[in-house]
Structures are given as C-alpha cells and as structure tokens.
Structure 1
Amino acid sequence: MNTIATLQGTAVAAAPADQLPHSIEAEQQLLGAILTNNDLYDRIASVIGPQHFYDPVHAKIFETAAARITKNALASPVTLKAFLEDDPGLAELGGAAYLARLAGAAISAFAARDYAQMIYDMAIRRELIAVGRDIADRATRMDVTSEPREQIVMAEQTLYSLAEQGQADSGFQSFLKAVTDAVQVANAAYQRDGGLAGVSTGLIDMDKKLGGLHRSDLLILAGRPSMGKTSLATNIAFNIAKAYKKGITHDGSEGAVNGGVVGFYSLEMSAEQLAARILSEASEVPSEQIRRGDMTEAEFRRFVEAAKALESCPLFIDDTPALPISQLAARARRLKRTHGLDVLIVDYLQLVRPASAKDSRVNEVSEITQGLKAIAKELDIPVIALSQLSRQVESREDKRPQLSDLRESGSIEQDADVVMFVFREEYYKEREKPGDHDLEAMAKWQEEMEKLHGRAEVIIGKQRHGPIGTVDLSFEGRFTRFGNLVKPWQNGGGGDSF
C-alpha cells in the first residue's frame, strides 16, 4: 500500500521519477467533504466511482459511504467505523481516528466537484499509461500468433472502453452497482410509454413478447430464403431510426430517449439496394417499380417526399463485403464514438468472416457469434444478426422452422439471447397450386390462400428473459413491409393494418 501523508502534516517521502499521477490530498479532501455533508455525493456520483481512487483504502471508504447514502442512511466517521474497523489498510492509517481527521479537515462544498474531476482525470491518465505500456510491450514481443493488425484492433478496443467507461478493464463490480443498474432499467421501462425495457421495434405485438430490444442482447433473426428476413430487419431499422429523439436518459447522460441510432451491416445487398427497400416502404411504391423507374407522377412525388423525410434519419449503412468480425467490431465502436449507436443489425451472419481461418466451419461460426455477443456487451446495445436456415426445413411436412434448423453451428443457438424465425406459409402454399382441371382442389386451395394472404409469423424459439411463442404480423410483399396485424375484434372483422 502507498505511503500516505496524514492530515496532521507528516512529510511525504520523495516519489520516484516515474510515479503514476495521483493526488492523495485531493482524495482526502473529497472524502472529508462527503463525510461532513452527504448531499455532496449526488453532485459527484456521475463523475467518479471507487475505481478512480489511487489509494485502495480511500476507494473502500468511498464505496462504503456511497452504499449508505444511496440507501438514505447517514455516512459519517461514526457510522462508517462499524463497517471499516476490521480493514487492515485503515488500521495502518490510524483506524477510526483517520476517518475523524478526514471529516475535520473537510473543504468547502463548492470545491467538491473540482476535486472529483481532478481525481477522475488522474485515474484516466494512470489507465492511459498502463494501456500505452501494454501496447508497447505487445508490439515489442515478436509473436507469430499476434499480427500487428490484430494488435491495432485490440488497442482501439481498450482505448474505446477507457473513453466510454473511464477504465480499460472493468473486472468485477459490486452487487450493489449491479442492483442499482437493474433498478434504473426497470424504472425507465415503468416511465416509458408501453412499459418497454428496451428499444421499440415499432411492431406492437413483437414488442409485447420481447419487451423491446434489450441492451447487450444478441438477437438472431433466421429464416429460409424469400421469407423476408432482410425486409423485417430493414423495417425494424427504419422504425427505430424514424422514432429517434435525443434527450437526457435515466442515468443522466445525453442519448436516445426514444428510438435510436441504427448501424446496418449489409454484407449481401448494396447500400443503394437497401435504401430503395426502405424508400419503397416509406413511399408505398413497389420496389420493382423504383428499380425500373416506372412510376406515375403521384408515386414519384411520394417517393421524393419520403426521400426528403428520410434524410435526417440516423440510419448508417456499411455494405463492405466479407468483413472480418474484428473489423466489424472496430467500425461499430467508431460509429458509436462519432454519431452514437443504439442498435446494430448484421445481414447476415454467415457472410461475416472470422478474424483468422479455423479448422472447421463450425468453429468459424462459433467465433463470429461470440464476437457479435461481445460487441453487444461492450457497446451496451442490442445486436440483431440475420441467419440462414438449413435445407432440412423443406423436406418436412410442417415447414415451420425450429432451433435445430439453424445452419452450421449450435453456437448460434447457444450464444444468442433471443432466436426468432420468420415464416410465411403463403410462400409454400403458393407452390402447391393444383391444376386448373381439378376444380374442387382449386377452390379449396384458393380458400386457404385467402386466409394466409398478407400474413406472416415471427416464431420466438428462444428467449432468455421472457416467453417463447408466435407473433402474427401483416406482410405486404409489394412494399416488402411488415406491420401490425389488426385483430378481428378490433375492427369488427378481418383486415390488416399497414
């Protein structure tokens, strides 16, 4: 433990030339002020935490005081004595008498935030020195398995984490902090319209089932070709970006209070094709007409108006093909730093490359899903990854997909917090059309097609925080648009809401 100058004026031994930046006096003064006036804690809680104190004893005193203050209990030298009297570090400084000396030499309240900022800045400098040494150390070691490109990505990740959280390596956190965070999330959900804990997808029934898109979750959206995976993903992206509203969030920081900034990795389609799909949905002009330029004057006017309205939407598209997972993570970090990022969508998982070649495709997909989950946790955002399904679905009588149909790796099912399947029975029924000569079969087929027309199912096959089940949606193929399905009792009859 560091040699500490007591408040009685004991001289500090001369520090070595490369002493890490810190100020024991600033820490002492701030702790003294908090122990004298507990109301000061609210002013500085958003600036520093226990991890920013250089001296471990000071960190322990701050954490104990914070725990009592947040429970509306008094934190003073007398009350803290009971919790810290067995602490060997405090005993070395003089035990409970040290707490009394801290309070006795307290500064005036107005300077508390300045001291807190000073302690925080010095903690960041110490972390930067540690990161710099670590980068230099890795670069010096000539290791075959560690390429310079990988080291750059790793250094960028560490620096991003330091910039966002004030610490390069979070390590363990106390249960009190975890509980406080959980209560804040629940409170935000309680106060938000509709009671969603996460970001709204804009699809009412899906939101009810999922509770919105939760931070740090990896959601897999899977389906066979032509089921509408990309359409549903673009619909959700558009709904979130369209609803974006900036403000002060529940934790006091500036961010999205409604909707959010969306990052879309389109590894299959070009950015222009994706934009055309979104414009088709917004302007209600069929996408094939947009592609051909075959529009009436009214349709073209709607198309231009929709394009103008979408200009300000915070939706960012990256259509770089075959991106390695490490590059995907680095670009997402950069987007969050420059424009903010609330939801990330990857279309689709099997087109992402692993950071390095693996001995089997299963191991490669495993690395990609673990990387996507790591991005969700690190950036504290929901990540939606689209995925292909194996052909075994086609050979079954019931074409509804299930978890075992996820292609190439069990790790997709294992790492995901939510697994959803898009299913349109109309697509399969259309291919069962009987011959014109069989009038009875044709009548039956037409009746079944009428029931299925314009309907889609999203089957939730796995959900870590909630129920599984099926969500019914409307689907309008001309505009590649999913919507909320109007229930028969809501309008006195059948019908879809678009």
Structure 2
Amino acid sequence: MSSTWGAHQYVPETLETGIVAEEYYRPAHQMIHRAIIGLRKANEPVDPLTVAAELARRGELAKVGGAPYVHSCVEAVPTPANGASYAEIVRAKAYRRTAIESARRILQYAYSEEGDELDVRSLVEQELTAIVVGTPGLHTAPPTVGDLYLDFVAELEEIQDGRQLGLTYGLADLDTITSGMRPGNVTVIAAQSGVGKSTLALNSAVAAAKTGAKVMFSSLEMSSTELMQKVAAAEGKIALHHLTSKDGLDSEQWDTVARLGRELFKSLPLRVYRPDGAALHDIESAARACVRDGGLDVLVVDYLQLVEVEQSRNITREQAVAAVSRGLKNLSTQLECHVIALSQLNDDGMMRESRAIKNDASVVIKVERPDMDEPDSPRAGEVDIVIEKNRFGPRATLTAAAQLHYSRFVDMAQT
C-alpha cells in the first residue's frame, strides 16, 4: 500500500507501529520502506528526492519503477495524519496472507503422507501458535549490535541498580546469584530421590506465579491433588501430613484452606498438567495451548527421565534422554519461556542417563541434604543449594532451611 509508506515522511507514528518491510505485499514497497528506515537511522530528511537518492545508492531505484513512482506514492496519500491507520491495514492484510500460507503448508504436509500423525500434529500446533502469538512467515534480518545497544544499557542499569532481571525462584540468595529465571533458558534441578527437588521446583513455580507470571507445572509423578496439598501446606503453613490423613485438620486449619482458596488459588496463574502418558509431544502441546490461552512464562517438567520420545530401534536410552533435554531447550526458545527440568542423580551424584542435560541448561542446581544419612547431624533441617553451572554468574553453594513438614524451602533469614 503506497499510502502507508508515503505517510512515513510526515508522521513518525507510522514507523512506531513496528511495521516491517516484509509486511508489504509488493517487493517495490518493501524496498522503499527499507530505504526510508535507512534514512531515518542516519538522521537524514525523508522526502521523495532523498528516498529516490537512497534507492539509487542501493541500486534499487529502477526496480521500484524509478523516481516518478516514488513521487506518485507520496501524491497518493489521502491524508498523512492517517499513516498509523494505513500501517494497520497493511499489517492486517499481511497477517491474512501468512495465515493462508500456514494453512497451505499444513495441507501440503497432510496430503504428502510424510511422517506420522505426531509429526502432523506438531506442525499444526506450531503453525497455529505462530498465528496466535505473532505474524507467521515474516522474517527480518537479525539486529546489529547497534540495534541491541539501548536494550543492553537498559538491562545493565537494572543489574547495577540491583533490580531483578528474571522471575524469582522464591529464594533471595538464589535470585541474586543467577539473576532469576530468564526466558529462553533452562534450569535443571537435580537430586537423588527423596531429597526435595520437586519441592524446590514447586516452590519456585508458586513464587513466580505470585508475581503474575504464567506457569505450567507438568508432573509425571504426583497427581493434581498431591500438588495442591503441597502448595496448601507451603502457603498456609499447614503440616503436610495433616492434609493427607483422616481428620487431620482442625477448624483453624480449615479456615486457612478456605482463605487460600479466596486469596491465592482463585487468582494464581498456575496450571497443573497431568498427562495421560509421558510423551514429550504431549507436554509441548500443552505448553503451546497455554501460549494460545494467555501466555506462558515458566514451564516445569517433573521429571526429565520419565519423559518419553519416539524411539527408533537403534537409539540408546542416553540418546533418548538427550533428545528430551534438547526438545525442552528448543521449546524454551520457541515459546520464550523459562523451563525448569527436574533430573534424577545416580548414587555417585552424576546426572542419570545423559550428560547432555547439563550441556543444554543455563543453570544447574543440585539439592543436597546433610541430614539425609545423618539424622543427628548438627545441620539437621538445612539444605545445600549447589549451583554447579551458572551462565549468568559464579558457581556457589547456598544454604536454605528445609521445612519439609510444610513442603517448602525458605531462606535462612526467614527462620
């Protein structure tokens, strides 16, 4: 639409809509748009003469129809003040075209008989999610470091001012060392069975959700009821065994449960996903459904070694677990969410069945309880949060209080 870019030179708001060259249908208008962007970045005036000169410098003036066409585009603008509205019309048309292209790709793949039904479903979900989240099929060149500089400085100021960059884990010391949970990254929480990795992950999920983050907890071990019991115990300071045994609650504790329902559960943006199976594609489907239904900031998978992938005859168990790890890393990038993946440790303290788990993670946390083998240990009631890998800071060992009767870990300062 020539009227859209023709309004660029008069109304800066047209560019502030975020419209990109790829959203224009005609290649000539795409080239003209890029020329205008180039002039504005160079703080040069934008008018038919300068735009034509910039196109000539790029060797594109003849391709768009020459200087007369550039002048005709400007003359075609009914009123420059409506530039932003024209841009939205262009964007709407682009969205329809790309939606049609997505549908065409789905049809072609379905008719081709390539892959199996899981491959078809995965393609459909990816295309639909792209349509809902943003305009699919539009690809711009990666930004230069100059384009990234202002965002870099803004983030640097937040760091220097001590402001939280990522979502909270629920433990202040852990947030300080790692800067919190950032989108597009994976945190692995690893421990031997019974130490409390699920407790730490659920505490983190609730803490993030209480800040307004949209969270999905996918449990392959615990039922939805068990998860609700643990959240109620931690948030209401109700001993977990009182919630799980007959006549365990007194009237005051029942009042606490009712209060949690009104003040916490009804508004907490935390979803609990209990898949019928344990397949990675089921978790991916549920995560994409969350994105389509309001968004997803944090995905928790409990736990990694229980997740299944389609296996060929020749794939080893280590390769299968590595495929799950890589799949969750890719999902965090595609959906721009943070993934917390729980992992079992062997008796020797190594990641069970795959070294790829640590490679794919940005942060690796091992949970260790000194009193597991020594009930009379002077450190009874403490837990070590061992940050074994940290792309955002140093490795460290933090100590927290293990209030497992409340199904929670808290900072030592809170005890």
How far apart are the structure 2 equivalents of 1:107 and 1:152?
46
Residue 208 of structure 2 aligns to a residue whose secondary structure is helix
1-side partners of 2:217 and 2:250: how far apart?
31
For the residues of structure 2 that align with 1:177 and 1:51, how far apart are their CA atoms? 21
| Partner SS, residue 9 of structure 2 | helix
Q: Does 1:344 align with 2:318?
A: no
The structure having more radius of gyration, on CA atoms, is: 1
Aligned to 1:162: 131
* Alignment partner, residue 122 of structure 2: 153
Tell whether 2:278 aligns with 1:323. Answer: yes
Q: Which residue of 2 aligns with 1:366?
A: 322
In structure 2, the CA distance between the partners of 1:151 and 1:416, relative to structure 1 (3 Å rule), is same
Spell out, residue by residue over 1:250-306, the C-alpha distance to the aligned partner (whole angstroms, 9 max, x if none).
xxxxxxxxxx11100011000100110010011111111110041333233223322
State the match for 1:491 in structure 2: none
Q: Identify the residue that residue 355 of structure 2 maps to in structure 1.
A: 410
Aligned to 2:406: 479
- Residue 176 of structure 1 and its aligned partner are, at CA, apart by 6.3
C-alpha displacement at 1:59, in angstroms? 2.4
Which stretch has the larger CA shift, 59-68 or 355-364? 59-68
1:305 paired to 2:274: no
Whole-Å separation in 1 of the counterparts to 2:46 and 2:373: 68
Q: Deviations over 1:87-136 (max 9, x none)?
A: 34333235556545444443423322222122112212221222222222
Deviation above 6 Å: which 4+ runs of structure 1?
none
Which residue identity does 2:221 align to in structure 1?
E
Alignment of 1:273-292 (within 5 A): 273-292=226-245
The counterpart of 1:116, out of the listed 63, 84, 87, is 87
SS in 2 for 1:406: coil
Partner in structure 2 of residue 263 of structure 1 = 216
Q: Over aligned residue pairs, what C-alpha RMSD do you find? A: 2.7
Q: Which amino acid aligns with 1:29?
A: S
Q: 1:162 touches 1:168 (CA, 8 Å); kept in 2?
A: no
* SS, match of residue 307 in structure 1: helix
Correspondence 1:354 to 2:299: no
1:122 and 1:416, CA in 2 relative to 1: closer, same or farther beyond 3 A?
same
CA distance in 1, matches of 2:139, 2:257: 48
Superposition pairs of residues 187-202 of structure 1, within 5 angstroms: 189=158, 194-202=162-170
In structure 2, give the amino acid aligned to 1:165. G
Q: Note the alpha carbon deviations across 1:330-369, whole angstroms, 9 max, x for none.
A: 1111112113221111111111111344621112112111
Equivalent AA in structure 2 for residue 30 of structure 1: T
**More moved, 421-430 vs 263-272:** 421-430
Tell me what 1:243 maps to.
Answer: 211
Task: Give the TM-score taking structure 2 as reference length.
Answer: 0.90
Q: Deviations over 1:205-231 (max 9, x none)?
A: 111111111011111111111221000
Write the distance in 1 (CA, Å) between the matches of 2:54 and 2:3: 21
The equivalent residue for 1:38 is: 12
1:172: Cα distance to partner? 4.7
Change (3 A) 1:368 1:301: same
Specify whether residues 30 and 234 from structure 1 end up closer, same or farther in structure 2 by C-alpha distance, changes over 3 A only: same
The higher relative CO (CA closer than 8 Å, separation ≥ 6) is in 2
The 8 Å contact of residues 423 and 457 in structure 1, kept in 2 or not, is answered as: yes
- 8 A contact 1:237–1:315 mirrored in 2: yes
SS at match of 1:428: coil
Aligned to 2:57: 86
Q: Is the 8 A contact 1:279 1:307 kept in 2?
A: no
Give the conservation status (yes or no) of the 8 Å contact 2:365–2:385.
yes
Partner of residue 174, structure 1: 143
Structure 1: unaligned runs, 5 residues or longer: 1-25, 245-259, 394-404, 431-445, 487-496
Q: What letter is aligned with 2:275?
A: T
CA distance in 2, matches of 1:460, 1:424: 14
2:232 and 2:257 in contact (8 A); partners too? yes
- Distance of aligned partners of 1:375 and 1:123 in 2 relative to their CA distance in 1, 3 Å threshold: same
Kindly indicate whether the alpha-carbon contact (under 8 Å) linking 2:304 and 2:324 is maintained by their aligned counterparts in 1. Answer: yes
Change beyond 3 A, Cα 1:236–1:135: same
In 2, distance between residues paired with 1:328 and 1:76?
52
Out of 32, 42, 53, the position equivalent to 1:61 is: 32
Provide the C-alpha distance between the structure 2 equivalents of 1:185 and 1:428, rounded to a whole number of angstroms. Answer: 47
Residue in structure 1 matched with residue 366 of structure 2 by the alignment: 421
Shift in CA distance, 171/37, structure 1 to aligned 2, threshold 3 Å: closer
Partner of 1:34, secondary structure, is coil
Q: Does 1:335 align with 2:257?
A: no
* Paired letter, 2:343: S
Between stretches 344-353 and 92-101, larger displacement belongs to 92-101
Q: Which amino acid aligns with 1:471?
A: L
- Identical-pair percentage: 26
CA distance in 1, matches of 2:320, 2:140: 27
SS in structure 2 opposite 1:470?
strand
Q: Which residue does the alignment assign to 2:111?
A: 140
**TM-score (normalised: structure 1):** 0.76
Look up the match of 1:228: 196
Structure 2 unaligned segments of length 5 or more: list them: none
The AA in structure 2 aligned to 1:420 is I
2:151 and 2:340 map into 1 onto residues whose CA distance is 22
Q: Distance in 2 between matches of 1:53 and 1:234?
A: 46
* SS of match in other structure, 1:372: helix
Q: 1: distance between equivalents of 2:59 and 2:253?
A: 77
Counterparts of 1:86 and 1:73 in 2: how far apart (Å)?
14
Query: What is the letter of the counterpart of residue 15 of structure 2?
Result: Y
Distance in structure 1 (CA, Å) of the matches to 2:316 and 2:5: 56
Q: SS at the partner of 1:427?
A: coil
SS at match of 1:483: strand
Deviation at 1:175, TM superposition (A): 2.6
Give CA deviations for 1:187-246 in whole Å, capped at 9, x if unaligned: 89469x8412211223211111111110111111111112210000111111112222xx
Question: CA offsets per residue over residues 164-184 of structure 1, 9 Å max, x none?
Answer: 120246475333696278449
